[in-house]
A = this chain, B = another copy of it.
Amino acid sequence: MVVVMQPQATQQHIAAVDDRLTAEGFRTQVIYGEKRTVVAAVGDRRVMETLGLEALPGVEKVVPIMKPFKLASREVKEENTVIRVKGASVGGSELAVIAGPCAVESREQLLAAAWAVRAAGAKFLRGGAFKPRTSPYSFQGMEEQGLKLLAEASELTGLVTVSEVIDEESLAMALDYIDILQIGARNMQNFRLLKAAGKSGKPILLKRGLSATVEEWLMAAEYIMSEGNQQVILCERGIRTFETYTRNTLDLSAVPLVMGLSHLPVVVDPSHATGKRDLVLPMAMAAVAAGAGGLLVEMHPEPARALCDGQQSLSPREFAQLMTKLKPVAKAVGKSLWGVGA
């Protein structure tokens, strides 16, 4: 990092900073400019962040140079991480399409959705059993009953299941039923949950927080990985900006950016990002063209009757069209799309 000293910093101030850094094993260089002195140091940023240098007298600011994440970094592991579940994979040459309803509402609804997902050529079924809702008066999900229905749907259709867990309790419950555990945007920095996910041994789909920087997002993945679980799938789902025409602003640049910084697979959720059915297809196409390893798409047998997010859910027919249209784009970026009519 670089420690920038205030113009009025004294020799003692500079020495104090230098000493604390060298004491911690940093290689330092003091550079005297006309106006200011800076202390440059190279070493482990994770240690640096525990030193509280900014609180030392004479220090103006500390500018970090190295990245704070390690296990998630491509500098540590060059080749892409590919996550394999029940013969499907995320992060490889095959595009991973995860589709299904916002919430599991009934056996009939979920099975109809599952068969439609499979018929369209996707391999992953999503469905929420625990719904974190902004209003305490909204539908909160079927909880364990929903998980059981997902497990049944998986058994009948062979689809890999993805479902959100919202705390240690729901995570423990989901272990017996679900293939890939999702951690939602609101819980991206629920560190207890991240650690539990790290211990779960299950692949984790980690959504980017609504206002999380790319660095914070990768640090959240680092939490999971630091507990020994390397199977993390990153999901871009839109960030909060001043623009309100769309539900959020899909930050697609984050896809190639994160793929450069990290070896973890990145998928995109155009449904939550846009909140508008009409925008799901074009943004799904764009996500694949940007290099995303997969998609998370909301599909409901009857969107107009959905208990949540109906306005952004595709019908089975619209979803099948999406899969067909995706094919040439996937091909253009060297990816295959299983089961979609050649």
- B residues within 8 A CB of A36? 42, 65-66
CB-CB nearest in chain B for A243: B213
- Knowing A50-B139, A55-B310, the reply to whether A252 touches B250 (Cβ < 8 A) is yes
- B residues within 8 A CB of A245? 213-215, 257
- B residues within 8 A CB of A137? 46, 49-50, 226
Assess the B7–A75 pair: CB atoms within 8 A.
yes
- Knowing A243-B239, A285-B290, A289-B329, the reply to whether A311 touches B256 (Cβ < 8 A) is no
Q: Is A331 an interface residue (CB 8 A)?
A: yes
Partner of A134, one of B50, B186, B219: B219
- B residues within 8 A CB of A308? 52
Q: Is A199 an interface residue (CB 8 A)?
A: no
Q: Is A10 an interface residue (CB 8 A)?
A: no
- B residues within 8 A CB of A57? 304
Interface-side segment among A93-101, A144-152, A153-161, A274-282: A274-282
Chain A stretch 248-297: residues in CB contact (< 8 A) with chain B = 249-257, 260, 273-274, 276, 278-279, 282-283, 285-291
Assess the B249–A63 pair: CB atoms within 8 A.
no
Q: Is A172 an interface residue (CB 8 A)?
A: no
How far does the alpha carbon of A251 sit from the alpha carbon of B164 in the complex, in Å? 27
How far does the alpha carbon of A252 sit from the alpha carbon of B305 in the complex, in Å? 30
Assess the B256–A54 pair: CB atoms within 8 A.
no
Partner of A167, one of B167, B249, B287, B288: B167
- B residues within 8 A CB of A304? 52, 55-57
Partner of A2, one of B2, B190, B250, B306: B2
Interface-side segment among A27-35, A81-89, A107-115, A118-126: A27-35
What is the minimal beta-carbon distance from A280 to any residue of chain B, in angstroms? 10
Partner of A279, one of B189, B223, B257: B257
What is the minimal beta-carbon distance from A68 to any residue of chain B, in angstroms? 6
Nearest 8 A/B pairs, CB to CB:
A55-B310, A33-B42, A211-B211, A54-B311, A289-B289, A328-B332, A286-B290, A46-B137
Known: A63-B65, A325-B332. 11 other contacts (CB 8 A): A27-B33, A29-B40, A34-B42, A68-B134, A136-B219, A246-B254, A252-B283, A256-B278, A285-B333, A286-B287, A288-B289
> Can you give 9 contacting A-B residue pairs, CB < 8 Å?
A4-B65, A7-B75, A46-B137, A50-B137, A50-B139, A240-B242, A246-B257, A283-B290, A288-B289
